[in-house]
Structure 1
Amino acid sequence: MQKKLIKVHPSDNIIVALVDIEQGETIAFEEKEIITATAVKAKHKIAEVDFAIGDSIYMYGVLIGKASQPIQKGEVITTSNVKHQSGKVSHKTETTSWNPPNVDKWKDRTFMGYHRSDGQVGTANVWLFFPLVFCENKNIERLKEVFEELVPKKTDAYKQLLRSLISNNPETSLENERVEKPTFDNIEVKFITHQGGCGGIRQDSESLARLLAGYVNNPNVAGATVLSLGCQNLQIELFQKTLKAINPNLNKEVIIYEQQQMGTVDHMLQTIIKDSYEAIKRANQIERKPAPLSKLCVGLECGGSDGFSGISANPALGHVSDVLAALGGKSILAEFPELCGVEQELMNRCVTEEKANKFLSLMKAYEKSVVDAGSGFDMNPSPGNIKDGLITDAMKSAGAAKKGGTSPVVDVLDYGEYVTESGLNLLNTPGNDVESTTAMVGSGATIVLFTTGLGTPTGNPITPVIKVASNSILAQRMSDIIDIDTGAVIDGSKTIEEVGETILDYIIEVASGRIISKASQLNQDDFIPWKRGVSL
């Protein structure tokens, strides 16, 4: 019989409904009885004790809010009776110990990856087209139309469906899909466009330069074709300087074209097509070879979270992160607005006081910028989050932080900085799904694990994104975008560690090219840089 209630941490004073519960139902819980004062939907929280106005409310062992009105034991916690509140932090107070998981079964496992001359190993082999400035987006889009001749194509089933409706021929359906054979076996061709590179403050262009340089340096990229207009803020020299700063010994083909120096669009596009085709042919000669799991760099992301995300999917990712840390691999925990309330724990896990101080400094500066804009971290939970039980930012953050497991924080990076240390890295990004995923890949993530409780199609142009559902209902309802179901943790049939090991097995298959993630199958190539400044 499935449990109806769960307490996440021994010091919590609210408990989570695992199923829908009727008003007035009496439930035996931890040697006492809980009588529900109101009906409770699954994923939502109820008071374990009576709360007076101003009483502190704890979940995941941390402060997540304060009662804004009296709350009766057994009553549902809502945005009407609880307000966001998080613990205060000013410095690293202790050094936490870590007991790494046993990794004997993983230490000799390998994945089939693309080895680069700098020692990095990619899970994909991509030739990337992108502009330095938005003025070149049209030319990138034209090149995409041209180079689609090299990309495996599906028959457009939706166009077929429309034609069948127009012709009144119902025999044409979505089942008529077929895939043509790709031109090349070992290379993908991908395209990025964006709205930056000029018009904002110079710092925005410098930030974009770091992001784009990080994409080129990512081992999933074999080489790149780069378009410049010529007069923009993000000059070719700035991009090249930034790329060299990230990797002075980069040994990839990066071919750059400046439209204002080349004359007509026709001349430029013909030149680009000829040069890029030859470069793509050379990149296609690179083949997959075995690599240890220590060569993986995994981004940890959540989006469309629900009240189960911090109980099932996120802790399962945390176990994966801990295993990778024990193996010498890398993982990235980002979304700083969703670390609000767990700063003390993360600072204590930092390997040095300097890194702890950098984390706190970045958090404070980010929060100040949000307040100066007339908002606050307390505005972070979305309507979907709240509807599914995440009612304060601190509650959402405490669950989101579970993706980082328990291992030491080896480094703290600002947006655009590239990961170099093995273990868990913190990266300053927004909580926005695509902006955060975009940033983690720019910092070196070769796989992204993306948990969701509500469902999201988010993907990335160069890095496989593996979608992990927090509950089985979502996994079944949106099976076309979900790769892994962690609902077994909720019904009690599997442990977090067991589900985490299933995820790691799946990572190996995706990293080796034997399984294509759902986001990649859907060509979900999302790319949004974080614009931190104003426009001039």
Structure 2
Amino acid sequence: MSNRFLKIHPSDNVYVALTDLKAGEKLSLNGGSLTLVDDIPAKHKFLEKPLQPEEEVIMYGTVVGKALSPIKEGGVIGTHNIKHKAAPYSGRTKTYQWTPPDVSKFKEKTFLGYHRADGQVGTANYWLVIPLVFCENRNVEVISKAFIEELGFSKPDAYKDYVHELVSLYKEGKTDKLSSVSFQPTTANGHSRIFKNIDGIKFLTHQGGCGGTRQDSQTLCALLAGYIHNPNVAGATILSLGCQNAEIKTLRERFQALDPKGSKPVIILDQQQSGTEQELLTQAIQKTFIELIEANKIERKPAPLSKLVVGLKCGGSDGFSGISANPAIGHTSDLLVTLGGSTILSEFPELCGVEQELINRCEDDQAGELFIKLMRTYSNAAEAVGSGFDMNPSPGNIKDGLITDAIKSAGAAKKGGTAPVADVLQYAEYIKKPGLNLLCTPGNDVESTTGTTGSGAQIILFTTGLGTPTGNPVSQVIKIATNSKLAQRMPDIIDYDTGGIISGEKTIEQEGEDILDFIIDVASGKITAKAVELNQDDFIPWKRGVSL
């Protein structure tokens, strides 16, 4: 690979600039030469051969767009001269053959996890407090204030101290000194942790449960049941008002389907039955505290890597995502699948254009047909409200080289590696099979990570080229940079840097293996993901309207 430009697939008619290239530069490629007619910013693409209007742009070996106007050889492509076009898809067209990677260095490795009675193993140990309806959000927040500091889960608020200093100067009339006050981060601990084996109490407030469609309430209950069943969760306290669409009986039914033996403690309180708010809150606090004592008795013990369920997500993507971080975690996924573990690839709007490849990789026709149905239903729903998958790339994506949804999707799909597709899951459906699973979620960062956790992921690998602080209350979200400049600029949110692939210092396979080692350390509690350190507990259930 040249350290200045890259042709990803032999059949491509575009190259990716790995560094800024200038108009007039003469490049040597494929035994010939090409003179650039435009400036090509790093992460953007230039044409190998000229294109006429309607002719196709090929990248990653697939159709990713078509020309709107004549484009010269060596010319840059952008929204001014190409538009989205994706390859058509149908049922399986060929039998898929896969050669698993060598996993000999990982076969004897384990992680230290929390073993649950149902056989799952958590990489963390949380207690959840969940409202079944938004009317209970305030009560959940009261419980949060009562518990967090007293149990030692709070962190010192350096920003509060910063504001205090600004207020003091203002009161003293020293407003001329306000701009010179510097922020001082603190690493001091607050109260000492009361329960050493509990990683935290998480409060999943939301705006659903009532006032929406019955489908939304059913989906919310299924999602919450998945969160309670997630191996990172020891148990949960549920607050209900009593009259909402998301009924207690629906949640119980959904959770019982996942945990028929009732192996996990769940406290359910109904405010309209409890009477006063004081009675509701004191019962919730008392019962939860007693269960925390039991949850604290579990300790980390070795577990095989086959017990890992890892989500695969990208957000704030750039033109390097599909050639560094995404294929790197794709290799990590292949390693985990070979070891008997599970991975979950989400974001269906970002699989547009690579459908046929994924259909052909499905292990059976049923999974392939479900994938087709979900993709077409989702696409039609978007078009029905005047949108479409072609509108998926954000302004930041486009600025950094992801010109069409098909370009973005072809690179995003690399997160799924090359393993066969074991199963296709609808939103809020819990994982059933080991191997690579496709999960129907939006591309929206938080709606997607929220859904992936509800399907059983203990850890989520989240690649980013632009930077995003997204986290989750239950899954440990590991942020992986596509380029070293981002990792250096935002070290407070980035956990791992795959920029070595762009510079040529490391291969995709080397990074994939190193990422798996990193996962093992996070899963064992030896490394804390940055999103966890920042208490980035993002939780937004997907209401089944259109969200890209």
* TM-based fold match above 0.5: yes
Gaps of at least 5 residues in structure 1 are none
Q: Deviations over 1:37-88 (max 9, x none)?
A: 1111000000110001111111001100111110001111101111100011
Query: Could you tell me whether the CA contact under 8 Å between 1:164 and 1:172 is conserved in 2?
Result: no
**Post-superposition offset of 1:183:** 1.5
Superposition map of 1:90-489 within 5 A: 90-148=90-148, 149-168=150-169, 173-180=183-190, 181-187=192-198, 188-489=200-501
Q: Deviations over 1:336-372 (max 9, x none)?
A: 0000000000000000011101100110000011011
Supply the AA of the counterpart residue of 2:188.
R
Alpha carbon RMSD of aligned pairs, Å? 1.3
Cα separation, 2, equivalents of 1:301 and 1:176 = 31
Secondary structure at the counterpart of residue 57 of structure 1: strand
**CA 1:259–1:402 in structure 2 vs 1: closer, same or farther (change >3 Å)?**
same
CA contact (8 A) 1:160 1:172 kept: no
Matched, 1:40 2:40: yes
Shift of 1:172: 7.9
TM-score, normalised by the number of residues in structure 2: 0.96
The match for 2:73 is 73
- Asked if the contact 2:166/2:181 (under 8 Å) is kept, the reply is no
Report the count of equivalent residues: 534
Tell me which amino acid in the other structure corresponds to 1:106: F
Distance 1:261 1:244 in 2: 23
More deviation, 448-457/263-272: 263-272
Q: CA deviation at 1:502?
A: 1.2
Residue by residue over 1:478-535, the C-alpha shift from the partner in whole angstroms, topping out at 9 and shown as x without a partner, is 000000000000000000011111111110010001110000000000000000159x
Is 2:27 the partner of 1:16? no
CA positional deviation for 1:164: 1.9
Distance 1:300 1:151 in 2: 32
CA deviation map 1:200-224 (0-9, x unaligned): 1111100001000000010000000
Instruction: Give me the whole-angstrom Cα distance separating, in 1, the residues matched to 2:91 and 2:208.
Output: 36
| Partners of 1:151 and 1:189 within 8 A in 2 | no
Which piece of structure 1 moves more, 487-496 or 162-171? 162-171
CA distance in 1, matches of 2:2, 2:57: 26
Amino acid at match of 1:425: N
Matches of 2:82 and 2:298 in 1, distance apart? 56
Counterpart secondary structure, 2:34: strand
Q: Distance in 2 between matches of 1:154 and 1:450?
A: 25
The percentage of counterpart residues that share the same residue type is 59
For 1:21, the aligned partner's letter is L
Tell me if structure 2 keeps the 8 A contact 1:118–1:250: no
Determine if contact 2:3/2:18 at 8 Å carries over to the other structure.
yes
TM-aligned CA distance change 1:171 to 1:369, over 3 Å = closer
The answer (yes or no) to whether the contact 1:157–1:177 under 8 Å persists in 2 is: no
Q: What one-letter code is carried by the residue in structure 2 that aligns with 1:183?
A: I
Q: Deviations over 1:298-349 (max 9, x none)?
A: 0000000000000000000100000001000000001000000000000000
| TM-fit CA distance, 1:2 | 6.1
The separation in 2 between residues aligned to 1:166 and 1:416, in whole angstroms, is 47
Structure 1 CA distance, aligned partners of 2:525 and 2:168?
Answer: 40
Rounded to whole Å, the distance in 2 between the matches of 1:498 and 1:172 is 41
Task: Answer whether contact 1:203 1:533 (CA < 8 A) is retained.
Answer: no
Question: What is the deviation of 1:173?
Answer: 4.5
Say whether the 8 Å CA contact 1:110–1:293 is kept in structure 2.
yes
Match of 1:61 in 2: 61
**Matched residue of 2:480: which SS?**
strand
Alpha-carbon distance, 1:165 to partner:
2.4
Structure 1 runs, 4 residues or longer, greater than 6 Å off: 169-172
Show CA shifts across 1:352-409 (max 9, x none): 0111011001100000110111111000000000000000000000000000000000
Q: Give the whole-Å Cα distance in 1 for the aligned partners of 2:186 and 2:197.
A: 27
The match for 1:518 is 530
Secondary structure of 2:43's aligned partner:
coil
State which drifts further: 26-35 or 261-270.
26-35
Superposition TM-score, scaled by structure 1 size: 0.98
Cα deviation code 1:396-423 (max 9, x no counterpart): 0000000000000000011111101110
| Aligned mates of 2:284, 2:276 — CA distance in 1 | 12
Distance 1:209 1:153 in 2: 29
Looking at structure 1, the residues matched to 421 and 92 of structure 2 have their Cα atoms a distance apart, in angstroms, of 12
Query: For residue 375 of structure 2, what is the amino acid of its counterpart?
Result: M
Counterparts of 1:118 and 1:95 in 2: how far apart (Å)? 36
Amino acid at match of 2:97: S
